[in-house]
């Protein structure tokens, strides 16, 4: 399928969904439109609300806060995951000792941590960063651990025969191998950083997209909730596009990468 045809199909699917939504909320198909609209709003109202939001300046502040939290959560989570993943992969003893604790910590649903983080770090951005960190850290950690452990033995032996010392092996072999695995999970980990930020905001904050949606929900403003979700989705797609761009640049050496999308 050509790129244009694909895009056309994608747009048609979106329009059909909006049309169905519009039809069932504006015409009396499943009940009185007023009643239905209370629960589901209408696409035109939601679009109007989104436009109104963006004509003001407040939404940009919320977006900026959420973006800030997402980036910080990603940077700290990825940094911590890389360092710990490296240490664990290079030392079997350390990995064996900490194994049950890592598993236990990873098994914990992060939502239960949110109130504690709010208590520790306050209602500002840092409690959200902490929540995002706990999500990103484990994804990156497991990937880096795997990546370093599964470096091709032939590539490693070859690098050693080239006379590389420990530092050079780290730089030319282990590090790129670990990065590969980290980047393969980049979409997931950036997504989780955002989830951490939004959930944190949702549970207690004074700014950010999650806060905005929560605020609308608490006054039964369904249009506001849908508008918030629409903005959030667009935000996620924009970030994901940036990640794809970064990935294509950094993993240009990989077969099938670069220009694949």
DSSP H or E run through 77: helix 58-90
DSSP H or E run through 3: helix 3-26
Q: Which is nearer to other proteins, 32 or 154 (CB)?
A: 154
Q: Which is nearer to other proteins, 24 or 164 (CB)?
A: 164
Q: Taking a C-beta distance cutoff of 8 angstroms, is the pair 173, 151 a contact?
A: yes
Shortest distance in whole angstroms from residue 24 CB to other proteins: 51
Q: Which is nearer to other proteins, 10 or 168 (CB)?
A: 168
Q: Taking a C-beta distance cutoff of 8 angstroms, is the pair 152, 103 a contact?
A: no
Positions touching other proteins (CB under 8 A) are 154-155, 157-165, 168, 172-173, 176-177, 180, 252-255
Q: Closest Cα to residue 117, out of 134, 136, 97?
A: 134
Counting every residue written for the chain, the total comes to 261
Shortest distance in whole angstroms from residue 170 CB to other proteins: 13
| Beta-carbon-side half-sphere exposure of residue 190 (alpha carbons within 13 Å) | 21
Shortest distance in whole angstroms from residue 146 CB to other proteins: 16
Shortest distance in whole angstroms from residue 163 CB to other proteins: 4
Q: Which is nearer to other proteins, 177 or 190 (CB)?
A: 177
Q: What CA–CA distance (Å, rounded) separates 80 from 141?
A: 8
């Amino acid at each position: 399928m050509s790129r244009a045809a694909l895009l056309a199909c994608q747009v048609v699917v979106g329009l059909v969904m909006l049309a169905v939504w519009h039809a069932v909320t504006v015409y009396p198909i499943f009940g009185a439109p007023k009643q239905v609209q209370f629960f589901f709003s209408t696409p035109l109202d939601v679009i109007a609300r989104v436009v109104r939001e963006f004509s003001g300046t407040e939404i940009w502040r919320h977006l900026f806060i959420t973006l800030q939290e997402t980036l910080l959560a990603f940077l700290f989570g990825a940094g911590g995951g890389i360092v710990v993943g490296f240490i664990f992969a290079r030392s079997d003893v350390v990995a064996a000792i900490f194994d049950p604790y890592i598993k236990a910590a990873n098994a914990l649903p992060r939502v239960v941590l949110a109130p504690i983080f709010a208590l520790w770090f306050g209602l500002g951005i840092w409690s959200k960063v902490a929540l995002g960190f706990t999500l990103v850290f484990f994804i990156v950690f497991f990937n880096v651990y795997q990546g370093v452990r599964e470096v091709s033995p032939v590539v490693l032996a070859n690098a050693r025969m080239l006379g590389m010392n420990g530092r050079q092996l780290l730089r030319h072999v282990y590090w790129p191998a670990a990065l590969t695995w980290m980047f393969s999970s980049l979409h997931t980990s950036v997504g989780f950083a955002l989830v951490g930020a939004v959930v944190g905001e949702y549970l207690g904050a004074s700014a950010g997209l999650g806060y905005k949606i929560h605020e609308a929900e608490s006054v039964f403003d369904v249009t506001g909730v849908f508008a918030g979700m629409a903005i959030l989705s667009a935000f996620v797609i924009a970030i994901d596009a940036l990640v794809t761009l970064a990935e294509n640049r950094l993993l240009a050496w990989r077969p099938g990468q670069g220009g694949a999308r």
